[in-house]
Amino acid sequence: MVRWFSASPPRTLLLGFVFIILLGAQLLKLPVSVTDGKPMPYIDALFTAASATCVTGLVVEDTGSYFTTFGHAVILLLVQVGGIGFMTMATLFALILRRRISLKERLILQESLNQGSIEGLVRLVRKVITFALAIEAIGAALYAIRFAFDMSIGRAIYHGVFHSISIFNNAGFDLSGDFSSFSAYSSDLYMNVVSMLLIILGGFGFIVLSDLFDLRLDLKRRLSLHTKVVLIVSGTLIVVGALIIFLFEFTNSQSIGPSVLGEKALASVFQSVTTRSGGVTTVDISNFRQATQFFIIILMFIGSSPGSTGGGIKTTTFAVLVGAVLAMIRGKDDVVLFRLRLAQERVYKAVTVTLFCIGIVMLGTMILCTTEDAAFLKILFEATSAFGTVGLSMGLTGELTTPGKLTIIVLMFIGRLGPLTLTYALAPKLERARYRHAEGKIIIG
């Protein structure tokens, strides 16, 4: 068994996440974690721990009122470790203790950070930790300033730190109470802007943040292709998403319909941003029109960017798929982005990831349709939100049966770990084929 898990970095990564979730569940199950002093049911503790570690935000109990300060601290620690990555945190402690990072540890880091090589990994880890702590500290201060108008200074700082870490890591946990998320701040421009910036920065990925930081230091330096694609696709999806939500919900009296024009626009932009893996919301999504809800499912499925705290198939995968379709329509052999040709292996991987993700969401949805008594769109929304580690819900989470909770836990785990990493971890070691079959032809389309 030990040899099985030590055989490859993906398997070590899988084991690490499982261990953290189980440890978190045990801590949340303790009476000291719950306000009423009664032990939390193990399945609910496991669900909450998985949701926090997988930075999802789906909850069966209201975080603000159900858990004590100790419980909040456990959730926050799980979110931080899950968002940045447990190997990144372990490397940080190793660096503090001045311990040498072994080759195996570098390979696991490479898998954890979704990098193509082990070159410069330790330097990247330092940047990841620095960026994360700096952004979370600034976010906590900005939140605390606003919360200070509604509560005591000490409580405002407490809420500021919790929400900054949760939202930057795209976890979606909040202390608002009564499952209300940020609905009380739906028209508050300050809170909306701070929250959106944290979600966007967390969703860009540390590779992009590092690239942008290096550009600030050297203006002659060019952005990498990865960074360009992430910025363009992310910006496009946010704008297009906001426009569609605004148009679909403009006259909906149950959502943004009664609001003035400016508040409608603000709510639409916020929902477009948070559906990409944020998890917090200022409007009750269950009151949206079905067309809007289905469009949000598409945004959740695309998700954030590689190496980020979010899930989904990732913006770069979506960009490669669109590029492949356009190349096929134009009769081109190569997929070209920003005048650079992509290797066929990248295109194959994008198609593979997308088909894997579609299959996983479909399977999860079918299981939930069997175990839960709810409308199909509601179930599909929940399954996609769990797999995309988004954390948005149309109200199904609190009604889930035990088999339904276990299904959501698995979806969150696969979404955070990544379908390909999970496949590499479970599959036997593959050897490169020493021959190629003769070419055959089939009719497509």
Asked whether residue 3 is domain-assigned, the answer is no
CA 180 to chain centre: 20
Q: In sequence order, which residues have a C-beta less than 8 Å from that of residue 32 and are 6 or more positions away?
A: 68, 70, 71
Asked whether residue 429 is domain-assigned, the answer is no
The pLDDT tens digits of the residues spanning 288-319 come to 999 999 999 999 999 888 877 778 899 999 99
Which residue do the tokens 């998320």 mark?
181
Asked whether residue 308 is domain-assigned, the answer is yes
Count of CB atoms situated within 10 Å of the CB of 287: 16
pLDDT score for 420: 65
| Band (4; pLDDT cuts 50, 70, 90) | very low
Bridge partners (DSSP) listed for residue 336: 341
Q: What is the pTM of this model?
A: 0.88
Q: Which residues span the domain enclosing 227?
A: 9-423
The pLDDT tens digits of the residues spanning 311-360 come to 889 999 999 999 999 998 888 888 888 888 988 888 888 898 899 999 99
For residue 389, pLDDT beyond 60? yes
Q: In sequence order, which residues have a C-beta less than 8 Å from that of residue 193 and are 6 or more positions away?
A: none
Domain count of the chain?
1
Pair 418, 85: CB distance under 8 Å? no
Asked whether residue 79 is domain-assigned, the answer is yes
The pLDDT tens digits of the residues spanning 23-73 come to 999 999 999 999 988 889 999 999 999 999 988 989 999 998 899 999 999
For residue 98, pLDDT beyond 70? no
pLDDT score for 113: 57
| H-assigned helices in 205-283 | 206-217, 225-249, 261-274
Looking at residues 223-232, what average pLDDT do you find?
Answer: 89
pLDDT score for 5: 43
For residue 226, pLDDT beyond 80? yes
| Band (433; pLDDT cuts 50, 70, 90) | low
Pair 165, 144: CB distance under 8 Å? no
For residue 87, pLDDT beyond 60? no
For residue 248, pLDDT beyond 70? yes
CA distance 167 to 385: 16
Percent of the chain beyond pLDDT 90? 48
